[in-house]
Amino acid sequence: MLTADDKKLISQIWTKVAEHGKEFGGEALERMFITYPQTKTYFPHFDLHVGSEQVRSHGEKVVNALSNAVKNLDNLSQALAELSNLHAYNLRVDPVNFKLLSQCFQVVLAVHLGKEYTPEVHSAYDKFLSAVASVLAEKYR
């Protein structure tokens, strides 16, 4: 899973990401809605236009949840248990959407971090976001 080097890279880069939570999270959601329009079905009450305050605010929530995961890299299941329950039992979000959002989030990281988003950082974040998606999908099994 995540190596010590992966965890170090994730934590180092996350300090830069967390400063732009609303921007990065909102952009990741916008990318997901445009690239995978079927994901919009979970947000019928949102204004889904680019730059929407509702999308940006929800993006900030996503980044805040990921911040919690970064702080708890050694125990993601416990750190994300409440969120996993919410998505599985109340919202009934298709777990495939977690992977789709992860892909979009990585694109946002690459765009905004530029040269800092090295292949090693990309690999670490791919593992991390895959682990988060897996934990969020646990309750579906």
Give the confidence band of 89 by pLDDT, cuts at 50, 70, 90: low
Q: Using an 8 Å Cβ cutoff, are 116 and 124 in contact? A: no
In terms of DSSP H, where are the helices of the chain? Answer: 4-18, 21-35, 53-71, 76-79, 81-85, 96-113, 119-137
Q: Give the per-residue pLDDT at 135.
A: 87
How many domains is the chain built from?
1
CA 24/CA 26 separation, integer angstroms? 6
CATH number at residue 133: 1.10.490.10
Q: Give the per-residue pLDDT at 87.
A: 61
State pLDDT tens for residues 108-139: 999 999 999 999 999 999 999 999 998 888 87
Residues 4-28, mean pLDDT to the nearest whole number: 96
State pLDDT tens for residues 18-40: 999 999 999 999 999 999 999 99
Residues 35-53, mean pLDDT to the nearest whole number: 93
Q: Give the per-residue pLDDT at 97.
A: 78
Q: Which domain holds residue 80?
A: 4-140
Q: Give the per-residue pLDDT at 92.
A: 77
Q: Give the per-residue pLDDT at 136.
A: 83
Q: Give the per-residue pLDDT at 74.
A: 94
Q: Give the per-residue pLDDT at 137.
A: 85
Local structure of residue 51 (DSSP, 8 states): T
* 85 has a pLDDT exceeding 80: no
